Amino acid sequence: MNEFGLYLLKSGIGIIVSYGFYWLLLKQETFFVLNRFYLLAALLISFIFPLISLPVDMPVQNYLSTNLPDLVVAKSASAIADDRTMDFWDIAQLVYLSGALFFLVRFLWQVIQIVVKYHKLPKTFYKGFVTILMEEGKSPGSFFHILFLTAQDLSSHHIDTMVAHERYHKSQFHSLDRLLMEMLVIVQWFNPFIWCYKSTLLAQHEYAADRNMIRRGEDKLQYQHLLFEKVAGISVNNFMSYFNNSLLKTRIKMMNKNESGRWANVKYLFALSLLMLLSVGLFPNQHVFAQQGGESHGQVDEMPVYPGGQGAMYEFFRKTVKYPKSSKYSKTEGEIFVSFVVDQNGDVTNVEISEDQYKQNVTSAIVVVGYLNQNETFQATKKDMQSLEDEVKSVVRKLDRFTPGKKDGKNVDVKITIPFRFRIG
């Protein structure tokens, strides 16, 4: 899994967990504006925080220690021979990109639809809106300052009610939420919870607009009858807020529901606390220490960067590391700490097996799983553990040149320790 794949995984987990908080704590509450802001905050945390690197202070030693999420390399005997383990990830990547492209095209098409309607259909100015006159049978709607109505709507005695409803959407920037959701759907289209987020967030828009209409003096029964009158209207664009939509039954239920009491605010404080814990959990922590000329320089300002990023280095290990046959068939397992220095030129030097006392600070590993094939035989040797050590040193020596680490604006030598765990599947 490459770096972007890890980002999708982390952001996806954030979406699932934060929506779970909403479902358990806030779904039944009638503080629709607070619900909206919770959902938006949770989305932003889920998508942004996995991109942030959080430095963590540790006792300074003469090497760099970096926490890497475990990378499992599981290869059967035949897969090691022909190195076909890329197939699954290649297919997954192709499927993901195809889906993202589909939703991107859909997004652009909806934007084009609005632009075309704006320039081609007759329009007028009505109570602060640029009003586009649509053909009969379409549902009233709005997109920022653009109001979509039919000629019949304009002549209706309910026009003030419909416009007031859309003006609330405009004042609360609900169209901005819709644009944001469409873009996030492009990134996480495969995650069913992003679709739950979308429908829930848009529902909060309508609940809040309906509640605002009742509070400003609209007769509840007449307003609900108006919604029923417009139930046959056709919604034409995901970006637009519609006076009528498919949430009619739930909207009426929410209008008739008693407002949540003040004690419900405690739930929002609790949900906010859970979000803060989630945000910390989504940080990709990295611990960085450096040395130059044998002197300790503490935490470096910039850590060495592998070409293409950490994900590219993972991909290199996934392609390259193999379970030595002699060790596999003698069922030799173990954890090997290999250290190397990224020098001031970015070259990988001083590759060695690390047995220093500080290796416990590195808690993550490259996990290599070997599967036995009964159709294949191999004569085990007495140097099975040595074979594992030779394998990891050989792989690390093949790493490409890094961008050097820096301290106080100068390139420094940085020592990195990575554990490799070999086990039989």
**Which of 130, 129, 150, 131 lies closest to 139 in space, CA to CA?**
150
Shared-domain flag, residues 353 and 373? yes
pLDDT averaged over the chain?
79
Domain limit, last residue, from 221, 247, 281: 281
Q: Which tens digits make up the pLDDT trace of 161-220?
A: 999 999 999 999 999 999 999 999 999 999 999 999 999 999 999 999 999 999 999 999
Out of 76-85, 253-262, 343-352, 367-376, least confident range: 76-85
Shared-domain flag, residues 180 and 320? no
In a domain, 395, yes or no: yes
Q: What is the pLDDT of residue 408?
A: 85
Q: Which residue has the tokens 């828009």?
A: 205
Shared-domain flag, residues 141 and 255? yes
Q: Which tens digits make up the pLDDT trace of 123-170?
A: 899 888 999 998 887 778 899 999 999 888 888 888 999 999 999 999
**Which of 208, 198, 206, 207 lies closest to 241 in space, CA to CA?**
206
Shared-domain flag, residues 42 and 191? yes
Shared-domain flag, residues 226 and 341? no
Shared-domain flag, residues 182 and 320? no
Shared-domain flag, residues 230 and 303? no
In a domain, 62, yes or no: no
Percent of the chain scoring above 90 in pLDDT:
35
Q: Confidence band (pLDDT; 50, 70, 90) for 72?
A: low
Shared-domain flag, residues 247 and 334? no
Shared-domain flag, residues 270 and 342? no
- What range defines the domain where residue 383 resides? 288-424
In a domain, 235, yes or no: yes
Question: Is the pLDDT reported for residue 53 higher than 80?
Answer: no
Shared-domain flag, residues 48 and 7? yes
Q: Confidence band (pLDDT; 50, 70, 90) for 239?
A: low
In a domain, 82, yes or no: no
pTM of the model: 0.62
Shared-domain flag, residues 343 and 295? yes
Mean pLDDT, residues 399-412: 89
Highest mean pLDDT pick, 91-105, 296-310, 355-369? 91-105
Q: Confidence band (pLDDT; 50, 70, 90) for 56?
A: very low
More confident residue, 416 or 89: 416
More confident residue, 77 or 93: 93
Q: What is the pLDDT of residue 286?
A: 44
Q: Which tens digits make up the pLDDT trace of 24-43?
A: 999 989 999 999 999 999 99
Shared-domain flag, residues 197 and 231? yes
In a domain, 325, yes or no: yes
